[in-house]
Amino acid sequence: MKSFIKIVLGSCLGVIVATLVVGLILSGIGAAMFASDSDQGSIKANSVLQLSLKDNIPQKTGNTEEAMFNFSDEPIIGQFDMIQAIEAAAEDKNIKGLYLTLGSKGVASAKAQDIRNAIISFKESGKFVYAYCGNYGYGQSEYYIASAADKVFIHPLGAVDFRGFGSEIPFFKDMLDKIGVKMATFYAGKYKGATEPLRLNKMSDENRLQIKTYLSALYESFLNDIGSSRDLSRNRLSALASELGGRTAEMALENGLVDEIKYADEVLDALREALDLDEDEKIPLISVVDYHKERDKDRNLGSNAKVAVLYAEGEIRAGKETYGMITDQHYVDMIRKIGKDDKVKAVVIRINSPGGDAFVSDEIWRELELLQEKDITVVASMADIAASGGYYIACGADEIIAEANTITGSIGVFGVIPNVQELMNDKLGIHMDTVKTERYATGVVSSFYPIGKDEAKLIQESIDRIYRIFLDRVAEGRQMSIDDVHEIAQGRIWTGAKAKEIGLVDRLGDLDYAIARAVEIAEIEDYRITEYPRIKDPMQKLLEELTSSKGSTVLQDRLLKTYFPSSAALLMEFEQLLNQSNRPMARLPFAGLQY
Report helix, strand or coil for 276.
Answer: coil
Instruction: Verify whether residue 192 is a known catalytic residue.
Output: yes
Question: Does 569 have pLDDT greater than 70?
Answer: no
pLDDT at 447: 87
Question: Does 165 have pLDDT greater than 50?
Answer: yes
Residue 165 burial (CB count, 10 A): 21
3-state DSSP of 519-561: HHHHCCCCEEEEEECCCCCHHHHHHHHHCCCCHHHHHHHHHHH
Domains 1-35+179-230+301-595 and 44-163+244-296 share a fold: yes
Structure pTM? Answer: 0.85
Q: How far apart are CA 206 and CA 462, in angstroms?
A: 23
Q: How far apart are CA 50 and CA 56, in angstroms?
A: 17
Among 152-156, 452-456, 562-566, top mean pLDDT goes to 152-156
pLDDT at 14: 46
pLDDT at 585: 81
Residue type present at position 137: G
pLDDT at 72: 56
**pLDDT class of 267 with cuts at 50, 70, 90:** very high
Q: How far apart are CA 397 and CA 380, in angstroms?
A: 6
Q: What is the mean pLDDT of residues 493-510?
A: 97
Report helix, strand or coil for 3.
Answer: coil
What confidence tens digit (pLDDT) does each residue in 384-400 have? 999 999 999 999 999 99
**pLDDT class of 1 with cuts at 50, 70, 90:** very low
Question: Does 545 have pLDDT greater than 70?
Answer: no
Radius of gyration over alpha carbons of the chain, in Å? 25
**pLDDT class of 264 with cuts at 50, 70, 90:** very high
Catalytic residue among 353, 388, 447, 552: 388
Determine the distance from the C-alpha atom of residue 203 to the mean position of all C-alpha atoms in its chain, rounded to a whole number: 24
Q: Which residues have C-beta within 8 Å of that of residue 291, sequence separation ≥ 6?
A: 43, 49, 85, 88, 89, 95
Q: Which is more confidently placed, 93 or 54? A: 93
The CATH code of domain 1-35+179-230+301-595 reads 3.90.226.10
> In the chain, what are the domain boundaries?
1-35+179-230+301-595, 44-163+244-296
pLDDT at 2: 44
pLDDT at 11: 47
Residue type present at position 150: D
Question: Does 35 have pLDDT greater than 50?
Answer: no
What confidence tens digit (pLDDT) does each residue in 466-493 have? 999 999 999 999 999 999 999 999 999 9
**pLDDT class of 56 with cuts at 50, 70, 90:** confident
Fold of 44-163+244-296: 2-enoyl-CoA Hydratase; Chain A, domain 1 (3.90.226)
Ramachandran area for residue 537 (φ above 0: left; ψ -120 to 50: alpha; else beta): beta
Catalytic residue among 111, 192, 293, 306: 192
What confidence tens digit (pLDDT) does each residue in 447-465 have? 888 999 999 999 999 999 9
Nearest C-alpha neighbor of 85 from the set 381, 268, 298: 298
Q: What is the mean pLDDT of residues 569-587?
A: 62
Q: Give how far Cα 358 sits from Cα of 327, 379, 565, Å.
A: 12, 21, 29
